[in-house]
């Protein structure tokens, strides 16, 4: 299952520390029980935020934002399989009108995860995981995304599906096969009247597999490979002008070591080669790639996680273009006050390196540093209070005089205070 690669280490670490912070920290019945196996978990949070750059671009303006976020979680636990689901809606209202009296935002989505296994971890047998997720994202609120393309009136849709089946043949030999689909789509008018560049999405199909051999109880030798096929909107826009096909493809082969099962530490250290190619023009981007994941449960109150990854993909900001992405992220969480108070901290560095642009323009690179700090306190079995702070520094570099990278040269700070009601 661990061969399902996370394409955004920033978002993954943020989800880890934030998700752990909302876990139950006191002994009490959780949610609404339906029978012996199903639990419903309704919740709603209300918060207010100060954002120093709600536009998410150079010379952006500050604003105060109020948010209401209701949602419903579901858990179903059987003997050898379980199902987790969540649906949510978020309404955001801004103190200042930003664009033709559009002073509110709507974000909503759902996610579903299914896991099945006919044996315990480390034993011979089969296991299966399926997951899907859809988000309609109000980009103004989405500082936790890694790509830095957020800002007022930059809404987008995302859909993800991933599946993996694993077989442990012996105590030492195991293998798995995985498939995934990703769809990204921006509003057609995402740059109209905002001063932004237009943004472009894509579809990606991927299939891959890996084989591992445990030469010790704690360490596996791993070989992994995957193939990706893209259908890029950014190529379609100018296809008639430059003869660019929307079809692109990529390959990745990596090898390394990992841990199959440990008491407190899990890790994967993989390195290899990745290639990304535009079919119509024959240009390709390739180079060394890596995947690092590590989680360390230091104690009953301390936990830390590290992610690092690199890959090639189309560029959201330009047509007929590709970029290399390198991400490094780290997070830590700590339980205090008999488990009622949780503190979290995480940081992420993301590097977007321009690789190829069909028309020779917009060739700037982008470095993004993001820091987050959170405190989450459980008042009683129904109510918790939280406060978070986020800082992002977006730094474009290189490129040509006619590039518009300066739009993404900005600092942004957000502070949030809120209440969450759960049942």
Q: Residue 206 contacts by C-beta under 8 Å, 6 or more apart in sequence?
A: 179, 180, 181, 182, 226, 227, 228, 229
Mind listing the pLDDT tens digit for each residue in 8-65? 566 666 555 555 444 444 445 668 999 889 999 999 999 999 999 888 888 888 999 9
- Phi and psi for 18 in degrees, rounded to 5? -70, -40
The token duo for 122 is 């480390």
Per the model's pLDDT, the better-predicted residue between 240 and 368 turns out to be 368
The overall average pLDDT reported for the chain is 84
- Total length of the chain: 423
> pLDDT digits over 180-205, tens only?
999 988 875 555 555 566 777 889 99
Give me the pLDDT at residue 27, please: 47
pLDDT at 16: 56
Average pLDDT over residues 166-184: 93
Contact 272, 236 (CB under 8 A): no
Distance CA 296, CA 147 (A): 27
Full set of structural domains in the chain with CATH: 9-422 (2.40.160)
State how far the Cα of 55 lies from the Cα of 195, in Å rounded to an integer. 10
pTM over 0.75: yes
Residue 257, judged by CB atoms within 10 A of its CB (0-12, 13-18, 19+), counts as: middle
Q: Which helix (H) or strand (E) holds 15?
A: helix 9-21
User: Model confidence over 52-62: pLDDT tens digits?
Assistant: 988 888 888 89
């Amino acid at each position: 299952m661990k061969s399902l690669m996370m394409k955004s280490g920033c978002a993954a670490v943020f989800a880890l520390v934030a998700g752990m912070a909302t876990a139950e920290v006191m002994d009490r019945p959780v949610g609404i029980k339906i029978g012996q196996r199903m639990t419903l978990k309704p919740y709603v949070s209300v918060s207010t935020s100060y954002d120093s750059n709600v536009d998410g671009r150079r010379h952006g303006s500050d604003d105060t934002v109020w948010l209401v976020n209701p949602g419903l979680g579901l858990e179903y636990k059987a003997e050898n399989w379980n199902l987790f689901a969540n649906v949510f809606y978020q309404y955001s209202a801004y103190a200042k009108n930003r664009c033709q009296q559009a002073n509110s935002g709507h974000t909503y989505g759902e996610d579903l995860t299914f896991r099945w296994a006919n044996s315990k971890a480390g034993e011979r047998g089969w296991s299966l995981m399926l997951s899907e997720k859809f988000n309609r994202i109000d980009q103004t609120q989405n500082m936790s995304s890694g790509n830095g393309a957020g800002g007022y009136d930059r809404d987008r849709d995302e859909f993800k599906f991933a599946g993996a089946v694993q077989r442990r043949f012996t105590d030492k030999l195991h293998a798995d096969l995985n498939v995934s689909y990703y769809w990204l789509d921006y509003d057609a008018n995402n740059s109209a009247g905002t001063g932004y560049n237009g943004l472009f999405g894509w579809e990606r199909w991927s299939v891959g597999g890996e084989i591992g051999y445990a030469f010790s109880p704690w360490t596996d030798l791993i070989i992994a490979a995957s193939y990706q096929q893209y259908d890029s909107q950014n190529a379609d826009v100018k296809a008639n002008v430059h003869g660019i096909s929307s079809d692109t493809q990529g390959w990745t082969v990596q090898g390394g070591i990992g841990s199959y099962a440990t008491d407190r530490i899990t890790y994967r250290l993989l390195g290899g080669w990745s290639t990304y190619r535009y079919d119509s023009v024959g240009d390709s981007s390739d180079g060394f790639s890596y995947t690092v994941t590590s989680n360390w449960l230091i104690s009953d109150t301390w936990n830390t996680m590290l992610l690092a990854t690199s890959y090639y993909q189309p560029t959201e900001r330009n047509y007929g273009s590709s970029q290399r992405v390198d991400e490094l992220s780290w997070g830590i969480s700590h339980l205090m006050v008999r488990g009622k108070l949780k503190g979290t901290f995480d940081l992420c560095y993301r590097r977007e390196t321009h690789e190829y642009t069909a028309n020779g323009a917009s060739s700037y690179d982008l470095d993004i540093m993001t820091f987050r700090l959170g405190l989450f306190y459980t008042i009683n079995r129904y109510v918790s209070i939280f406060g978070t702070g986020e800082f992002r520094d977006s730094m474009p570099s290189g490129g040509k005089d006619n590039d518009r990278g300066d739009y993404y040269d900005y600092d942004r700070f957000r502070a949030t205070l809120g209440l969450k009601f759960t049942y």
